[in-house]
Amino acid sequence: MRVLITRPEREATALATALSQRGHVPVIAPLFRLDILHPPGDFAGALAACQAVLLTSANGARALAEASEQRSKPVFAVGDTTAATAEGLGFTAVTSASGDSAALAELVGQRLDPKSGPLVHVSGADVAGEITPEGFEVRRFTLYEAREADALPDSARAALQARALDAATFFSPRASALFARLVTAAGLADACRIVSAVAISPAAAQPLAPLPFKATIAAARPTRQAVLDEIDRLPLPSVQGPETMSDTPPSSPPPPVVQVRRGLGVFGAFVTGLVAAVIVLAGAVVSLPYWPQEARTLWRGPPMTAPAPAPTPVLDTAALEAAKKELTSRLDDLERRVRAAATTAAQADRPHVADPALAELRGRIEALESKPASAPAPATPNAEVDKDLAPLKAEIATLRAALQSLDGTVAGQKDAIDKIRQAASASGADEQKAVAAARASAVIGIAARLSAALESGLPFAADLNLLAPLIQIDGKGGDAKLTELSAALKPLAEKGVDSRATLAAEFPAVAKAALADDLADDSFGERLLGKLRGLVSLRRVGADVQGDSVEAKLARAEAALDGGDLAKAVDLVKSLPAPASRATSSWLARAEAHLAAQRMIDQIAAHAVSLLGAAR
């Protein structure tokens, strides 16, 4: 059939290709010209802050690609065509709603969280409606404009005048309304009587009602594929009945309908080739364990090196020294306060030296107490003498009370001094614990750095040297445990040891050589077999290979390496018989060096954890 396409030129070309593959003849008559607009100033910031981008057309995907080079932001497309266009432009995370705007809003509500940030909707100047998922903040940016044609395109005008169209496609209400207006203005509305209109949705079909189309059909789903399916279901022009001229007499039976069977076509050939490629690839993957090692290496590519470990935080020695100085200053201040309080107490114990007034009081008391003894005792009671002595006795009692009060004050000062000393002692203990805890935490951090360096296969002498100042912090002559472990690690730290990944990557070649050595003996046939085994290794692999043969142990050792258990692999290799030891000796020595270094680093970490527990 001859199908009119009213889409913009870029989309019209893609649709024309799809129609041609189905055996139809496309007639391109764009009703719009697409203009990409310059993005507003706040678009870049909004795009960076949003959690996803909404696209309601393929033109929106192209406009977004023009406006920004960012391709990793999640994209939610209204349909499959829009999603395919976005993926073709390089966007890496594209999800299709395979429907209309309502389906897109529902998909966003299911996949995203409103609390994770706003959404950006890239659209044209004219939109059918806003995309407003419940609870989300949506910012719409107009990045393109479809400008309407002033008159009906010449291709559409000529096809309508020649009655050469069988169907016409419409992909938006705006396109339908513009086509109806331009056709009516050109006086070609009557030419639509033999044309079937196929719209992408009921909304797009509604503006076509004033035109006398043979049939107006809305696609079952708002997708390009659904429109193509509706076109395929239209009756072919040769069997349209009353509109067709025929020279066959009415009484004669109609000629039999000839069913034309198409070949595979481009799409069928593509699918057939894809299935064949999948079958070949599956066969290659199934037979991969039986390939030669060289071929397996070419297939898998070079072994991946372990990623560089993330830097592990270590103790800031400058901060530690500053903390020590501050703690020492506080201790010195407490000592000065204790000495001052002790001096005050000592002075209180000697009031005749520190307080002249107190000494005068004591002298007056002694003088008064000695006065009656020096005066001659009266022979007879004398009331006047008693009267004179009464004030003196009262003064003596008052002075004695004052002395007792002073003694109580001195005792209180001594208690306060004792409390100050106890507080100073407790504060010093807490500060010592804090220093010990900081030291233990630093050792734990260094142990983590050493472990990461070990897995990278690089020398780690610089990381090991960080332990030296922490070993000497201990005031009792140094930490003997850390000293011993640091000295034992030093020979391995200078050159480093092979990483676990390197040992695992080299093991297949070692296993092949070990198996060949085990099978070879003094006979010519066995030596030849051993040489062949050295070139092409067909051996079983996997953790489920049972038995005590060299092949079984090598298979279990390789499976243990793949699972990260280097110690188990080493134990299995060490249990191999003597003929296989020549091929495995070098690998075994390097693997044991790795395990030894790992054990010592683990002991450093365990010792640091025990120090941290003791400090708390």
Residue 201 Rama label (left phi>0; alpha psi -120 to 50; beta): beta
pLDDT tops 90 at residue 211: yes
- Write down the pLDDT at residue 363: 65
Query: Which residue, among 123, 109, 118, 122, has the nearest Cα to 137 in the 3D structure?
Result: 118
| pLDDT, tens digit, 9 for 90 and up, residues 76-134 | 998 888 898 899 888 989 999 888 888 889 999 999 998 989 999 998 887 766 788 88
Same domain (yes/no): 361, 442: yes
DSSP annotation of 350:
-
Angle at the Cα of 112 from the Cα atoms of 106 and 115, rounded to 5 degrees: 120
DSSP annotation of 69:
-
pLDDT tops 60 at residue 26: yes
Of 120, 147, 174, at which residue does a domain stop? 147
- Write down the pLDDT at residue 522: 44
- Whole-number Å distance between alpha carbons of 610 and 189: 93
Residue 540 lies in a domain: yes
Instruction: Provide DSSP, 276-295.
Output: HHHHHHHHHHHTGGGS-HHH
Mean pLDDT to the nearest integer, 208-218: 93
Same domain (yes/no): 6, 139: no
- Write down the pLDDT at residue 358: 56
The single-letter code of the amino acid at 614 is: A
Q: How many domains does the chain have?
A: 5
- Write down the pLDDT at residue 581: 75
Residue 259 lies in a domain: no
- Write down the pLDDT at residue 290: 64
Cβ–Cβ contacts within 10 Å for residue 374, how many?
7
Confidence of residue 277 (pLDDT cuts 50, 70, 90): confident
Structure tokens at 480: 């003997």
- Write down the pLDDT at residue 310: 45
- Write down the pLDDT at residue 221: 87
- Write down the pLDDT at residue 194: 92
pLDDT tops 90 at residue 611: no
Residue 210 lies in a domain: yes
- Write down the pLDDT at residue 564: 82
- Write down the pLDDT at residue 326: 61
Instruction: Provide DSSP, 4-62.
Output: EE-S-HHHHHHHHHHHHHTT-EEEE--SEEEEEPPPPTTHHHHHHH-SEEEESSHHHHH
Which of 67-81, 436-450, 483-497, 549-563 is the most confident on average? 67-81
Same domain (yes/no): 450, 594: no
Mean pLDDT to the nearest integer, 477-505: 82
Same domain (yes/no): 401, 449: yes
pTM of the model: 0.37
Q: Report the CATH number that the domain containing residue 84 is assigned in CATH.
A: 3.40.50.10090
Residue 197 Rama label (left phi>0; alpha psi -120 to 50; beta): beta
Query: Which residue, among 7, 419, 383, 365, has the nearest Cα to 175 in the 3D structure?
Result: 7
- Whole-number Å distance between alpha carbons of 335 and 329: 10
- Write down the pLDDT at residue 245: 37
Residue 482 lies in a domain: no
All residues at 6 or more sequence positions from 575 whose CB lies less than 8 Å from its CB, including other chains: 553
Confidence of residue 229 (pLDDT cuts 50, 70, 90): very high
- Write down the pLDDT at residue 246: 37
Helix (H) or strand (E) holding 94: strand 94-96
- Whole-number Å distance between alpha carbons of 98 and 101: 10
Same domain (yes/no): 359, 445: yes
DSSP annotation of 541:
-
Residue 245 lies in a domain: no
Of 147, 179, 212, at which residue does a domain stop? 147
Q: Report which of residues 166 and 11 the model is more confident about.
A: 166
- Write down the pLDDT at residue 353: 45
All residues at 6 or more sequence positions from 309 whose CB lies less than 8 Å from its CB, including other chains: 452, 453, 455, 456
- Write down the pLDDT at residue 377: 46
DSSP annotation of 250:
T
Mean pLDDT to the nearest integer, 283-287: 68
pLDDT-wise least confident of 54-63, 105-114, 255-264, 392-401: 255-264
Same domain (yes/no): 68, 141: yes
- Write down the pLDDT at residue 459: 86
pLDDT tops 90 at residue 169: yes
- Write down the pLDDT at residue 240: 43
Length of the chain: 616
| pLDDT, tens digit, 9 for 90 and up, residues 322-347 | 655 665 665 566 556 656 655 655 55
Query: Which residue, among 548, 540, 551, 541, has the nearest Cα to 514 in the 3D structure?
Result: 551
Helix (H) or strand (E) holding 199: strand 196-199
| pLDDT, tens digit, 9 for 90 and up, residues 135-162 | 899 999 999 888 888 898 988 888 898 8
Mean pLDDT to the nearest integer, 362-379: 55
Q: Is the separation of the CB atoms in 446 and 482 below 8 Å?
A: no
Residue 290 lies in a domain: yes
Phi first, then psi: what are they for 105, rounded to 5°? -65, -40
Query: Which residue, among 596, 586, 578, has the nearest Cα to 506 in the 3D structure?
Result: 586
Same domain (yes/no): 570, 523: yes
Same domain (yes/no): 340, 217: no
- Write down the pLDDT at residue 47: 92
- Whole-number Å distance between alpha carbons of 152 and 185: 9
Query: What b-and-e string marks burial along 160-197, b requiring 16 or more CB atoms within 10 Å of the CB?
Result: beeeebbbbbbbbbbbbbbbbebbeeeebbebbebbbb
Of 455, 489, 507, at which residue does a domain stop? 455
- Whole-number Å distance between alpha carbons of 345 and 418: 11
- Write down the pLDDT at residue 24: 92
- In Å, the largest CA–CA distance within the chain is 185
- Write down the pLDDT at residue 237: 75
- Write down the pLDDT at residue 525: 52
Query: Which residue, among 520, 499, 398, has the nearest Cα to 453 in the 3D structure?
Result: 499
DSSP annotation of 163:
T
The single-letter code of the amino acid at 287 is: S
Q: Report which of residues 554 and 291 the model is more confident about.
A: 554
pLDDT-wise least confident of 18-27, 62-71, 438-447, 589-598: 438-447
Residue 13 lies in a domain: yes
- Write down the pLDDT at residue 3: 94
- Write down the pLDDT at residue 441: 77
Q: Tell me the average pLDDT of the chain.
A: 75
Phi first, then psi: what are they for 568, rounded to 5°? -65, -40
Mean pLDDT to the nearest integer, 475-497: 79
Same domain (yes/no): 321, 424: yes
- Write down the pLDDT at residue 202: 92
Domain hosting residue 421, numbered range: 317-372+390-455
Q: What percent of the chain has pLDDT over 90?
A: 17
Q: Report which of residues 38 and 539 the model is more confident about.
A: 38
Helix (H) or strand (E) holding 421: helix 383-456
| pLDDT, tens digit, 9 for 90 and up, residues 192-209 | 999 999 999 999 999 999
- Write down the pLDDT at residue 408: 65
| pLDDT, tens digit, 9 for 90 and up, residues 401-417 | 666 666 666 566 666 66
- Write down the pLDDT at residue 102: 87
Helix (H) or strand (E) holding 357: helix 356-374
pLDDT tops 90 at residue 437: no
The single-letter code of the amino acid at 277 is: A
Structure tokens at 327: 């703690």
Same domain (yes/no): 322, 432: yes
Residue 100 Rama label (left phi>0; alpha psi -120 to 50; beta): beta
Same domain (yes/no): 445, 537: no
Query: Where does residue 330 rank: exposed (0-12), middle (13-18), buried (19+ CB within 10 A)?
Result: middle
Residue 331 lies in a domain: yes
Same domain (yes/no): 25, 164: yes
Confidence of residue 214 (pLDDT cuts 50, 70, 90): very high
